[in-house]
Structure 1
Amino acid sequence: MGLTNNNTRCVLVLGGSFDPIHLGHVALASCLTRRLQPDELRLIPAGQPWQKSALTATSEQRVSMLKLAFEDWKDCPITIDEQEIQRAEQQQSSYTIDTLKQLRAECGADTSIIFAMGADQLQNLHTWHQWRDLFELANLCVAARPGYSLKIVSQEVAKEWHDRLTSAEDMRHQPNGTTMIEPALAVDVSATQLRTELKQHNPTMRLLVPHKVLDYIQQHSIY
């Protein structure tokens, strides 16, 4: 961990397949932005995630949907970072560790990089490529999700996680190495279920997807 600096620049990182982007993603970004007051929200759409099956929407479509979902966002500057898509296009495997290395090289040693994860991802963290090294590059923040236990199954991950726990205020000023759990998020949207509902033209989907994104999905017959 670096030394605390009250003037530390802070970048909040939200990655995902975004297939499609839904209101759960937007709520997560909004909740963590309020808590952490970052200088920038960095959205990183996945290329071809090695732990998931093939994506339905193309990379171009997913980036377009992200832009539409955050078009009216005013909480902080936003960057859509396509580094994982670019690696996939070059047929390179893409791991979170690679993404954070590139981000750290871009942002410099003193910037607080906060990588946001879902509770489901926390349970699988022990399977991630070089997961221990993530703490050398970023802070890790998990948002609670209804129906998902925050009891960490892997004892190794649990020890690392609990030894590094800190507050939102302290995390915002630490370049890397700390962990935090945000318990306030009560939105639960399953992208898998959402794609199924979209295929069936279920009208309740209007409540789960930003309206501009839903219009785009329908115009391009994505799901």
Structure 2
Amino acid sequence: MSENKRKIGIMGGTFDPIHIGHLVTAEAVRIEYSLDKVIFIPAANPPHKQDLQVTPAIHRYIMTVMATYSNPYFFVSDIELSRPGLSYTIDTLTHLISQFGEKTEFYFITGADAIQDLPTWERVQELLNLCHFIAATRPGCLSTLDNIIRYFGPQGRRRIHRLATPELEISSTDIRERVKKGRSIKYIVPESVENYILKEGLYR
């Protein structure tokens, strides 16, 4: 890779809601891989959650903007919100390449537990040719990640990387349950996101 290439991280997800774990992971990857910026991209219509009730995209987008605003290296894109149909990563990445040019190296940031579904992603072989995958690892996920890397062979070894991140056992599912039961979510999500959830009556 030439030194004059720009390096951009992509943090895709439902963000229902975005929480401290997402932010800590994105910052750890940004520093480790010397990324110029990280773009958070809320999914409008995630194909793997068709059977689940997802909070309207506008709320998830606003919370993501609020959560990332204080970090000068974090940005939020509404690319998937403004595109009709299912939110496939390959379509998003193709658009970003046309926007930023071929002299950009993309790093897709995800959790090691989520990456086990990578073989089922739309046009995954093409996707691996277009970007790197950074899997944030936690204890217990290493064997699964190794299996996925072996599944893709040499391409997997070149394109799928692991990074141990601070152990934050936080999930959006747990946060929604906490709100539903009237329990505190303080310090699990940014204060602005907490206030927004309460003001808009989300997850009740």
Fold match by TM threshold 0.5: yes
Any conservation in 2 of the 1:15–1:45 contact (CA below 8 Å)?
Answer: yes
Partner residue, 1:39? 36
Partner Cα separation in structure 1 for residue 142 and residue 60 of structure 2: 29
Q: CA deviation at 1:148?
A: 2.8
Q: TM-score, normalised to structure 2's length?
A: 0.90
- Is 1:21 aligned to residue 13 of structure 2? no
Partner residue, 2:132? 139
Partner Cα separation in structure 2 for residue 182 and residue 125 of structure 1: 17
Partner Cα separation in structure 2 for residue 118 and residue 183 of structure 1: 10
- Is 1:215 aligned to residue 203 of structure 2? no
1:21-170 equivalence runs, <5 A? 21-52=18-49, 53-74=51-72, 76=73, 78-87=74-83, 90=84, 92-152=85-145, 153-154=147-148, 155-157=150-152, 160-162=155-157, 164=158
Aligned length: 200
Partner Cα separation in structure 1 for residue 95 and residue 141 of structure 2: 31
What letter corresponds to residue 111 of structure 1 in structure 2?
Answer: T
Partner Cα separation in structure 2 for residue 29 and residue 60 of structure 1: 22
Query: What is the SS of the residue equivalent to 1:180?
Result: strand
Q: Deviations over 1:185-208 (max 9, x none)?
A: 3222121121111111212x2131
Q: TM-score, normalised to structure 1's length?
A: 0.83
Query: What is the SS of the residue equivalent to 1:142?
Result: strand
Q: Quick one: percent identity of the two aligned structures? A: 29
Partner Cα separation in structure 1 for residue 12 and residue 59 of structure 2: 16
Q: Deviations over 1:148-177 (max 9, x none)?
A: 344344552355322x1xxxxxxxxxxxxx
Q: CA deviation at 1:82?
A: 1.2
Q: 1:150 to 1:31 in 2, by over 3 A?
A: farther
Partner Cα separation in structure 2 for residue 216 and residue 99 of structure 1: 27
Q: CA deviation at 1:140?
A: 1.3
Unaligned regions of 5+ residues in structure 1, if any? Answer: 165-177
Q: 1:107 to 1:86 in 2, by over 3 A?
A: same
Q: 1:107 to 1:150 in 2, by over 3 A?
A: farther
User: Cα RMSD (Å) of the superposition?
Assistant: 1.7
Partner Cα separation in structure 2 for residue 35 and residue 200 of structure 1: 38
